[in-house]
Amino acid sequence: MKYINALFLFVSSVIFAQNSDPFVVEATFLKGNILPHKKGVDHLITGHPEGVFVGFLKQSNPQIEWQKNYNYPEYGAYFLYQDFKNELLGQNFALGLQSNFYFLNRKIQFKAAAGVALTTNPYDKETNSKNIAFGSKLMANIDVGLAYKKYFFNQKIALQAGLFFSHYSNGRTKSPNSGINTINLSLGVSYHFMDATKSYVKNPDKLDLKYTEPIHYNFVFRSGCNQSSVVNSGQYAFYHLCFFADKRINKKSAIQLGTELFVSNFYKEFIRYQSVAYPAKNVDPDTDFKRVGLFVGHELIFNKVSVELQVGYYVYQPYKFDIPVYDRIGIKYYLNKKINAGVGVKTHGFLAEALEFSIGYRL
């Protein structure tokens, strides 16, 4: 719990200490269902999960250009509590960063949030072996929501109702890791410390998103530890080395094209395991475990923070266990014009392979 408290203090200081802009407090109550996203999780679905999502956000500033480009979003920190109504799963507590984006005269709110979660009842070989969803106590949490928002009382109090999706996974840092997805009905209330109409321009001038840069070249080092899908097979470090070119096409977006080398030690051990456990497959235990991929990507830029989406294909994969197509979603923070740091999840479809921590250099 001390790590969660430290993260909350850090997030709060980053969000609220930069300036004295007014902020928003919101509380949203949730009730829904666990989605049966794969076979073998039916025993984890015994009730209707309930929870509460609490947000602490800065109101937008009409004078800041990047906020105008995104129709004056709110951004800040969140706390999420969910009770899965299942004795095997227990409850989850999450903390992280969130943003609220607005559409249709600010009547429709889209919420995006990501952070870390702590579960009360993770997998244990002896005491909780049926919990195949949460292989570790600490996990990643991703949330999205869509709601209709109605303001009252001089644009300071609002009610919102809609749908809320939550996802929990440890990125296969430890198996098992089937993860849990819930879809919920949401009903919330928010209080704006400043009249909401003062935090945006109702009919802004036409956006000028034109912006060009020469092509830039990037080097990225990603690392962490993960485990194969074989429970108790051990955690191993991985090293992902990446080189790519990016081109800014406007103030909000950049496109990417690159290649990367995957040196994943869990894969090396998994090949050896397959050769011993399944002799009929005739797997050579000395098969090269390294992989090389080519990828295309898109970067959505919010001032110093950006969201990366990448899709790649293995052009070198001697041991073909996973599908040849992989994808990645990540968040990146620019420390300065050249150096950035980030975190992301590499997956094959909906199956996570690695939770990656990165450091990058942009020429």
User: 205 falls in which pLDDT band (50, 70, 90)?
Assistant: confident
| pLDDT tens-digit series, residues 289-333 | 999 999 999 999 999 999 999 999 999 999 988 899 999 999 999
What local confidence, expressed as pLDDT, does residue 18 receive?
42
285 pLDDT higher than 90: yes
What's the predicted TM-score (pTM) here?
0.87
355 pLDDT higher than 70: yes
3-state secondary structure the chain: CHHHHHHHHHHHHHHHCCCCCCEEEEEEEEEEEECCCCCCCHHHCCCCCEEEEEEEEECCCCCCHHHHHCCCCEEEEEEEEEECCCCCCCEEEEEEEEEEEEECCCCEEEEEEEEEEEECCCCECCCECCCCCCCCCEEEEEEEEEEEEEEECCCCEEEEEEEEEEEEECCCCCCCCCCEEEEEEEEEEEEECCCHHHHCCCCCCCCCCCCCCCCEEEEEEEEEEECCCCCCCCCEEEEEEEEEEEEECCCCEEEEEEEEEEEEHHHHHHHHHHHHHCHHHCCCCCCCCCEEEEEEEEEEEECCEEEEEEEEEEEECCCCCCCCEEEEEEEEEECCCCEEEEEEEEEECCEEEEEEEEEEEEC
Lowest-pLDDT range of 20-24, 89-93, 206-210, 248-252: 20-24
| pLDDT tens-digit series, residues 206-222 | 788 899 899 999 999 99
Mean pLDDT, residues 84-88:
95
**Mean pLDDT value across the chain:** 91
| pLDDT tens-digit series, residues 122-165 | 999 999 999 999 999 999 999 999 999 999 887 889 999 999 99
What local confidence, expressed as pLDDT, does residue 21 receive?
66
102 pLDDT higher than 60: yes
